[in-house]
Amino acid sequence: MKLINFVLFQFGWFVSVWGAAQQKLPLSMTVVALILLVHIMQASQKKEATILLFIIMLLGSIFDQLLLITNLVTYENQFIDYLVPIWIVAMWGLFATTLNLSLSWLKSNRVLAVLFGFIGGPAAYFAAEQLNAVQLTNPFSIYALALGWAILTPVCLYIAQKWNGFRT
């Protein structure tokens, strides 16, 4: 289950970034919606899994909105220039699917969770920039991403403990 979750997350991440960069959002968001639906359907407690998705999507969107309004990051395929695009919101949903499955091993070690976020968060944005979906607009962008993800990763994992739809 954890391996499938990891593969679906990676696939969904790539499809989201590709869809934004190539102006194929309807297709990419349909794929991501199906991944999120499969995730919820696999959960033993569907309500908790769904609530977790929405909490993390909201929390992550607030973070990305702050990056956008401070002009640290710009996004491709924004329908409204001053709002974070739907594909970023969807990617936070994808991230939420990993918290109680493929990233659950980070719950027991906060230091590793902080380091994972500190390195992994900026790496994902950098990769998305290479695929022309995101632009880091400022030399401080990478530092803001590292700090934000170093904080958000353990916070998200903590929230995931309460809303664990995969608890047996």
Q: What is the pLDDT of residue 3?
A: 94
| Calpha distance 97→20 (Å, rounded) | 21
For tokens 């047996």, the residue is: 168
Q: pLDDT tens across 130-141, in order?
A: 999 999 999 899
Q: Give CA separation, 111 vs 71, 106, 116, 117, 151, in Å.
A: 29, 9, 8, 10, 11
Contacts of 6 (CB under 8 A, 6+ apart): 98, 101, 102
How far is 34 from 168, CA to CA, in rounded Å?
A: 24
Calculate the CA 31 to chain-centre distance: 15
pTM of the model as a whole: 0.95
Token digits for 16? 């989201």
In the chain, DSSP finds a helix count (H) and a strand count (E) of 6, 2
pLDDT in tens, 30-68: 999 999 999 999 999 999 999 999 999 999 999 999 999
Q: Are 153 and 116 in contact (CB under 8 A)?
A: yes
What is the distance in angstroms between the CA of the first residue and the CA of the last residue of the chain?
A: 13
pLDDT in tens, 71-126: 999 998 777 778 999 999 999 999 999 999 999 999 999 999 999 999 999 999 99
* Confidence band for 168, pLDDT divided at 50, 70 and 90: low
Q: In Å, how far from its chain's centre is CA 66? A: 15
Per-residue pLDDT at 16: 96
In this prediction, residue 153 carries a pLDDT of 98
